[in-house]
Chain A
Amino acid sequence: MYSEQILMEEDKDKSQLRKADIIISFVLFAFSVLFLIFALKMPAKIYIQVTGQPSGIYTAPGIFPIFISIILILESMLLFRTGLKGAKRFSVEDIRHSIDYIRTDTFKRLVTVIGLLILYIFILLGRIRYDLATFIYLFSNMVIFRPKKYSILKIFFICVAFSLATAYGFKYLARIPLP
């Protein structure tokens, strides 16, 4: 009974994965077509600056991207076929399932991790001092994800120590400039 339940769960997961494959196949197809269009726009002959002679068509810069985009188009079609074969029909249940996932703690944590990385890489680094930026990133990460029993003061000291240690260690000992 239990093993049957596991098999049914696995079957459901596989069907979900195949549905996602169908969507991915469309994205991949669009990407490959765009890649092909840009490759076709590349010049067939390039004038070599030293001699002023045109290079042969066979060394055109677009040839290899054209080859890759054709293969990617074929692969996206195969993925679509695999998805169609393995997926059950799209239903309202799928939309409900996606909405339910968005409400889960895992999704919220995922968004937070990515958000903090964006904050650190794109906003803090390069704009404020490295040690301060690192402290803000680490402290916010640890405070958000800590179990309730963990004291904030302890986290504060850990973050200060790590930020200063990396700043000093990399900058002065390893002589690696920091952002």
Chain B
Amino acid sequence: MSGLSILFAQLIELLTIQNIILLCAGSSLGIVFGALPGLTAAMGIAILTGLTYGIEPSSAIIVLMGIYVGAIYGGSISSILVGIPGTPAAAATVLDGHPLALRGEGKRALSFATIASFLGTLFGMICLTVFTPLLQRVALDFQSPEYFLLAVFGVLICGSLTSPDIPLKGWIAGFIGLAASCVGLEGMHCYERYTFGNVSLMAGLSFIPAMIGLFGLPSIISILSQAQEKKIIEVGKGRGESLLKMLRGHIRHIFRSGCIGTFIGTVPGVGEDIAAWMSYDVAKRISKHPEKFGTGCYEGVVAAEVANNAAIGGSLIPVLSLAIPGSAPAAVLLGALMLHGIRPGPMLSFEFPHFVYEMSAILLLAAFTTRIFGLLACQVAVLVLKIPFFIFMPMISVICIIGSYALEINIYHLYVMFTFGILGYFLFIMKYPPAPMVLGMILGPLADTNFRRTLFIYNGSLDPFFSRPIAFVVDLMILYTILSQFGLFSKCYLVIKSYSAKMKSKMAKRKKK
């Protein structure tokens, strides 16, 4: 059966009343969650992973995907109406979305964001359906050295691209995550590492509570301690935008932003926010009127929103083919899949042959529900946004706590969540990104097992890490990631440039003579 027919079959199978209700509930919850500044898509998925642990895996995945798509779109609501991004992914939308709302074009800006998000998700979904099976086939050639190097590369590139200060801080966060993954029984001999005789630590540091702590508590603590005030602009009664009209006017922007978003989404750990910024930047550079960007320009809203939603599909490609998450929410989703007994990676195509298409179908349906309920949920989100932070944030902290506890009905998870929450808050102040740490915790066991397996198979030789073709390519990527941060390439370029200038002047002198 061809991919398209499997996708169609999965779509038909998913179209039950129960699934549609779950998807609508998930998307609406995601939109409200994403609209609230400080609450991210990763946090929403992490909390709901704990809360949906008891229900059927397919239903849980539908809810989580709905939240993912809804939250990434929902971030644009507060970006446009409040001027504060609901999620980091919607930060680029503020630049043009909020000036539009201030001009009284809030409703039109929101409808632009809704359609752009829908088209972006659709673009990402198509790429997910086409490229994941291809990458899975390539990934079958990956062996232990490649997996180890890929995990290290993932942590490094994520650290480089998500660090708000110097890339070194991202790398430190990533390696602390790898160190945290060493706690508990190791995967080869079941030897206890760093447990100090504590039975609770033997199972390791569960990363869902750790994630809820890292993504949730820092926002709650910082919002409550800084007593932020927010001013909401009403949606207004202006006219919306039709899908066809927008497609006609912005088809080039949509395609370009979709490509950028999907590509950035596939880079391990980088995610939707970088995709949106990069797409916005490219749109501004290419535009005939770059001076209009930042003053309330619809192209800016479209570029950012298409890219951050296209990154959803992009970030799922490495999750499903290599078990390496493309973004922080995708990392939580990977954990959720593992909790429900689905092991993503190259073997997924043998264990669950149609799972990629099932995910694509869910993504497609989530795109439609967000499109249909988007503007409706906007009104609910605006009402929730009006709740003062001193009432809302303590409630969210209670939900975080229930989410962490419900995972294994174990109070120890609350301690893990709290510890990582406090650590996350201090990392946030010191400008360390949380995403590489989470990625490190997820990829740690993969890196550890494959590192030792390689050494065991090749009798302690480090050759396979450099001599195998795919490993060599990953080595080059790691080298480039590290060296480019120290400016060595630009220095080399300057040396070569000055040398060639000298040579040219010498040649010119010789010709004159």
Query: Which residues of A are at the interface with B, using a C-beta cutoff of 8 A?
Result: 17, 20-21, 24, 28, 35, 38, 42-43, 46, 48, 55-65, 67-69, 71-72, 75-76, 78-79, 82, 105-107, 109-110, 112-114, 117-118, 120-122, 125-126, 134, 137-138, 141-142, 145-147, 150, 155, 158, 162, 166, 170, 174-179
Contact = CB atoms under 8 A, between A and B. Distances in A.
Given A68-B182, A179-B401, 16 more contacts: A17-B165, A55-B189, A59-B188, A59-B453, A61-B186, A65-B194, A82-B168, A121-B401, A121-B418, A145-B227, A147-B388, A150-B388, A158-B391, A170-B402, A176-B54, A179-B405
B350 interface: no
Contacts of B221: 110, 113-114
B171 interface: yes
Contact of A72 (B165, B179, B411, B453): B179
Interface string B367-380: 00000000000000
Contacts of B430: 17, 20-21, 24
A65 to B, nearest CB: 5
B479 interface: no
Contacts of A68: 175, 178-179, 182
A64 B220 contact: no
Contacts of B499: none
Contacts of B411: 125-126, 179
A59 B175 contact: no
A82 B406 contact: no
A145 B225 CA distance: 9
5 A-B pairs with the lowest CB-CB distances in the bound complex, closest first:
A58-B455, A145-B390, A141-B394, A110-B225, A61-B191
Contacts of A145: 224, 227, 390
Interface residues of B, number: 56
A56 B182 contact: no
Contacts of A170: 51, 402, 406
Contacts of A114: 221, 422
Given A58-B456, A69-B179, A125-B411, A63 B401 contact: no
A145 B253 CA distance: 45
Counting chain A CB atoms within 10 Å of each CB, which of B186, B224, B388, B394 scores highest? B394
B256 interface: no
A162 B175 contact: no
Interface string B332-365: 0000000000000000000000000000000000
Looking at chain B's contact residues, the main secondary structure is: helix
A61 B188 contact: yes
B19 interface: no
Interface of B: 51, 54, 165-166, 168-169, 171-172, 175-176, 178-179, 182, 186, 188-189, 191, 193-194, 217, 220-221, 224-227, 388, 390-391, 394-395, 397-399, 401-402, 405-406, 409, 411, 414-415, 418, 421-422, 430-431, 447-448, 451-453, 455-456, 459-460
A113 B224 contact: yes
Contacts of B189: 46, 48, 55, 59, 61
Contacts of B414: 121, 125, 179
Given A61-B186, A125-B414, A67 B451 contact: yes
Of A42, A64, A112, A155, the most chain B CB neighbours within 10 A belong to A64
A138 B225 contact: no
Most A CB contacts (10 A, CB to CB) among B178, B225, B399, B406 go to B225
A117 to B, nearest CB: 6
A115 to B, nearest CB: 11
11 contacts: A55-B188, A58-B455, A60-B452, A65-B193, A69-B179, A79-B168, A121-B418, A142-B390, A174-B51, A179-B405, A179-B411
B390 A141 contact: yes
A158 to B, nearest CB: 6
A156 to B, nearest CB: 12
A53 to B, nearest CB: 12
Contact of A142 (B172, B391, B409, B415): B391
A117 B455 contact: no
A167 B405 CA distance: 13
A137 B175 CA distance: 35
A10 to B, nearest CB: 13
B459 A58 contact: yes
A16 to B, nearest CB: 11
A24 B171 CA distance: 14
A119 to B, nearest CB: 11
Contacts of A82: 166, 168
A38 B313 CA distance: 41
Contacts of A46: 189, 191
A158 B225 CA distance: 21
Contact of A65 (B182, B394, B455): B182
A117 B397 contact: yes
A56 B193 contact: no
Contacts of A20: 430
Contact of A121 (B179, B391, B415): B415
A150 B165 CA distance: 39
A159 to B, nearest CB: 9
A55 B187 CA distance: 14
